Amino acid sequence: MTDVERQTELDAIGAEVATCTRCRLHQTRTMAVPGEGTAATEVVFVGEGPGFNEDRQGKPFVGQAGTLLSELLGAVGWSREEVFITNVVKCRPPENRDPEPDEIAACAPFLTRQLAALDPALVVTLGRFSMARFNPGARIGQVHGTFRPADPESGAPDALTFSMYHPAAALHQGSLKATLFRDMEGVPQALVEARKLRSSKPGSAGESAAAIGSEGAAIEPGAAIEPGAAIEPAPTAQPDPLSEVSADRAETPSTQAIFSSADGLAQSAKPVERVDIAAESDPTDQLGLF
Ligand code: SF4
């Protein structure tokens, strides 16, 4: 599917969402919020549902939580324009209550179709409702900051999923803000691992690129990877710890190169389990938030 075809499908889904009456949330919404971003991306962020400001504007993550999400993206050199951002439910639950199971189920086909169109390498889940879709049975207090293969039933069978707290949780519990930024540091590396995983699949378009990526590729120190920029593999293939990892879709073998993160973590294909001091409890569970 070309990026134009992806965008056409996303637009069609958005038009359906805008007039959807499949669940009771349509009765109280001001505007449905299908999601926004670029169709030419490898990374999708999935939150829980629209809040007050999102409901008014029809855009995801535009309130205080949205500002924090933009800061998190900026912390790894990404922008909202480089990713796609959406939610599990597309209409605001009244008073920002948790979405009900039947509401989540009614809205699920829209997210499934968005994921099918985008075919992301990496899905970043924001909050426990989003996490539950891609990692059923997981507890966010234990898995935040880590990545693993997405549940095949999630709609993104070829993606890795990286779990994070919902940014709004940090607005209620300030200590989570540092956790969010610390976890965010692992997202680019998760994308690297997702690329390796997809490229290594037999018959994949990036199979030949995997050979390039697994050996590493030389990039000018500190050079940004521009959307669609061709990165030629170097003869002496050593990972460059200073290179940035772009969230833009890398469709050609030359842009499938593997870049190491600044801390040089995880050159293996295994998910990196981050040991976190908050792993023994889930602070947002007590708050009933996200
Ligand atoms: S939340 Fe989803 S299923 Fe419910 S009315 Fe909105 S778009 Fe339709």
Which residues are 169's β-sheet partners? Answer: none
pLDDT for the residue 135: 93
Give the residue extent of every domain in the chain. Answer: 3-248
Q: Which pLDDT value is given to residue 237? A: 34
Give the model's confidence band at 103: pLDDT under 50 very low, under 70 low, under 90 confident, else very high.
very high
Which of the residue ranges 16-25, 216-225, 240-249 would you say has the lowest mean pLDDT? 216-225
pLDDT tens for residues 175-194?
999 999 999 999 999 999 99
Q: CA-based angle 116:36:149, to the nearest 5?
A: 40
List the one residue out of 185, 156, 189, 179 whose CA is nearest residue 73: 185
pLDDT for the residue numbered 105: 97
The pLDDT confidence band at residue 238, using thresholds 50, 70 and 90, is very low
With a 6 Å cutoff on the Cβ, whether 17 touches ligand 1 is yes
| pTM for the predicted model, two decimal places | 0.76
**From the CA of 90, how far away is ligand 1's center (Å)?**
6
Res. 160 pLDDT band, cuts 50 70 90: very high
140 CA distance to ligand 1 centroid (A)?
25
Predicted confidence at residue 30, as pLDDT, reads 98
**CATH class (in words) of the domain with range 3-248:** alpha beta
Nearest-atom number in ligand 1 for the CA of 20 is 8
**Residue 24 CB–ligand 1 contact under 6 Å:** no
Separation of CA 55 and ligand 1 centre (Å):
12
- 83-101 per-position pLDDT tens digit: 999 999 999 999 999 999 9
Please state, for a pLDDT cut of 90, what percent of the chain lies above it.
Answer: 65
d(CA 43, CA 82): 8
Query: What does the alpha-carbon distance between residue 289 and residue 268 come to, in Å, rounded to a whole number?
Result: 34
Q: SS3 for 72? A: helix
How many residues in total does the chain contain?
290
Task: For residues 104-113, give the mean pLDDT.
Answer: 97
Is 71 in contact with 27 (CB distance < 8 Å)?
no
Closest residue by CA, ligand 1 atom 3? 107
104 lines ligand 1 (CB under 6 A): no
Q: Is 40 in the pocket of ligand 1 (CB under 6 A)?
A: no
Instruction: Check: CB of residue 200 under 8 Å from CB of residue 160.
Output: no
